[in-house]
Structure 1
Amino acid sequence: MQSNHRPQLRRKIRFFLHRWHRRLGLLVSLLLILLVITGVALNHTGQLKLDNHYPQSGVLLWPYQSLLPDNIGYEGSHGLLHSANGMLLLDEDMLADCSRLTGAAETTEYVLVSCASVWHLLTGSYQLLESFDPAFLSLPEDAQPAVSDGQLVVGSSDYWQKLNVDTLTLEGRVTVAQTSTYEILPAVNQSISWQRIMQDMHSGRWFGSWGVWVVDIAAFVMMLLAFSGIWMWLSRPGNRR
């Protein structure tokens, strides 16, 4: 009786595993496809240049909205001044390098633009005259360009100084200055690369705090599928030869 009972038990276990093997396999198949695609892409980061290309899709970037700074634009006399893809743009015309536009001021003769790490002095017709590091003028991080009595000034709300555009030096202090109004533009991603998105998708972080656990559970399920598949194959008559 015992010898007959063991093959029956083995068949029942094999039938049970076979049924759930298919169901679990279908459940994790989509995630497995995602892991394979992202894993292969990450293995070829250099060739695909994933580390220096930045997607702009709102769907891909939804987990990073809090990390993307506001994209602002200034409506000047010749068009919209804004930054995108590391460039300072006047509408669609490229003017200079600009990782992120932070301020702008315009007089009849000059335009002064502040970016995150570089400032640009342009003519009134938006031709580039000079680019300089704000540290050259010992400007604080929150310094902005503004206008006072038709002259360019730089500083902050409580301390403004005139800018000598010929020597690029700061001169006498002024008490009142007018900053340009800006408008919020659609966010431009210049910091979240394809490489980071692929890494976060591969690990599950892209899906939020629970995404990592989903990937961990899927990995455990795939390990069960592997073991159950091996056991079902070995338990079939004739497969032990």
Structure 2
Amino acid sequence: MTKKHHHTRNNSQHKSRTKRLGKKLAKQFRPWHRRLGIFCSLFIMLMAISGVVINHSNHLSIDSAPVQQAWLLDYYGITPANKLVIYQTQPLSLASSDNLVWVRHRLAVEADSPIKGMLTLGKMILAVDSNNLYIVSQDGELMEKQDASMGLPRGIEAIGFDGQAWLKTQAGYFMADDDLIEWTQAMPFAPIPWSQALDTPAAQAEADTISLLARSSHLTWERVILDIHSGRFFGSFGPWFMDLVALSLIIMAISGIYLWVQGRPKKKARVPRY
């Protein structure tokens, strides 16, 4: 046997072994490639759908749409307000939850500190916290905010009405003029009917509604979908799980290329003509 023929036979054997090894690897890769494809496709669809929704969040109004599902609020750890007070149920609903003022089930004011009291005065609604007076329309629009720079006393503890608006403060009692512009320290001649919580069955039902609205004001659907898209929705291991999905996609891409290369028809070698 000549050296040339020996070299040709060795090349042929090497190619044959390589071909058999390639087929064996392809046979092992193929089922895993399918499994990874099924596994990844579910999360690709989830990420694609959530990504489209996020891109159009303004048009779909999910950027301001509150989540009102109690189980989802519980999952995010959003607890009920520490202090929830119903002041009135008819003819319109007036309530406060911590520092939030609610008019007709609508969030009207986010005060600087917890609300101390609310009442109606003509077509206006008055709400106070420790150092501010909020004048709100019956539609829930903030019309005016007063503080110490406008002559409002500090350390407010309660608001009442007996024909005139009164404030109870740490420094004493203050009475407002008819236009709610000037506050004068004075001593009432009779007990003031201070704003207080309403305790009726209707008020209890209203409290359940306001409690859910107050919780939902802290969470929007845009936040939920963003968390799903990033993996944070699934807890501390969520981002790691999304990394695992990304790694699976890389492996699937590599195995797919390998299977495609192995499955290509081989070009026939040209036979030299003599």
Q: Say which of 38, 42, 47 aligns to 1:30.
A: 42
The 8 Å contact of residues 87 and 119 in structure 2, kept in 1 or not, is answered as no
Partner of 1:229: 256
Partner of 1:167: 179
Partner of 2:211: 186
Unaligned regions of 5+ residues in structure 2, if any?
A: 1-12, 199-206, 269-274
Aligned with 1:52: secondary structure?
coil
1:186-219 superposed Cα distances (whole Å, 9 cap, x missing partner): 3322343333222221111122221111111111
Q: Which has the larger radius of gyration?
A: 2
Aligned with 2:103: secondary structure?
strand
Partner of 1:199: 226
1:30-73 superposed Cα distances (whole Å, 9 cap, x missing partner): 22221011111122233223323323223444443348856834
The 8 Å contact of residues 42 and 195 in structure 1, kept in 2 or not, is answered as yes
Offset of residue 4 of structure 1: 2.5
Partner of 1:16: 28
Aligned with 1:231: secondary structure?
helix
The 8 Å contact of residues 87 and 195 in structure 2, kept in 1 or not, is answered as no
Q: Say which of 120, 132, 135 aligns to 2:135.
A: 120
The 8 Å contact of residues 106 and 152 in structure 1, kept in 2 or not, is answered as no
Any residues of structure 2 matched to 1:29-108 within 5 Å, and which?
29-66=41-78, 72-76=84-88, 78=90, 80-82=93-95, 88-90=102-104, 97-98=108-109, 102-106=115-119
User: In structure 1, how many angstroms separate the alpha carbons of the residues matched to 2:266 and 2:54?
Assistant: 38
Offset of residue 108 of structure 1: 9.8
CA gap 1:35/1:149 in 2 versus in 1, 3 angstroms: same
The AA in structure 2 aligned to 1:171 is T
RMSD of equivalent CA atoms: 4.4
Aligned with 2:217: secondary structure?
coil
CA gap 1:77/1:35 in 2 versus in 1, 3 angstroms: closer
Aligned with 1:51: secondary structure?
coil
User: In structure 2, how many angstroms separate the alpha carbons of the residues matched to 1:38 and 1:240?
Assistant: 45
Aligned with 1:167: secondary structure?
coil
User: In structure 1, how many angstroms separate the alpha carbons of the residues matched to 2:58 and 2:266?
Assistant: 45
- TM-score, structure 2 normalization: 0.62
Partner of 2:17: 5
Q: Say which of 195, 201, 212 aligns to 2:239.
A: 212
Aligned residues between the structures: 230
Structure (1 or 2) with the greater strand fraction: 1
User: In structure 2, how many angstroms separate the alpha carbons of the residues matched to 1:179 and 1:239?
Assistant: 90
1:103-156 superposed Cα distances (whole Å, 9 cap, x missing partner): 5344898963348x972368xxx799x94214355577x856434989754466
The 8 Å contact of residues 107 and 150 in structure 1, kept in 2 or not, is answered as no
User: In structure 1, how many angstroms separate the alpha carbons of the residues matched to 2:179 and 2:40?
Assistant: 66
The 8 Å contact of residues 51 and 229 in structure 2, kept in 1 or not, is answered as yes
Aligned with 2:212: secondary structure?
coil
The 8 Å contact of residues 99 and 190 in structure 1, kept in 2 or not, is answered as no
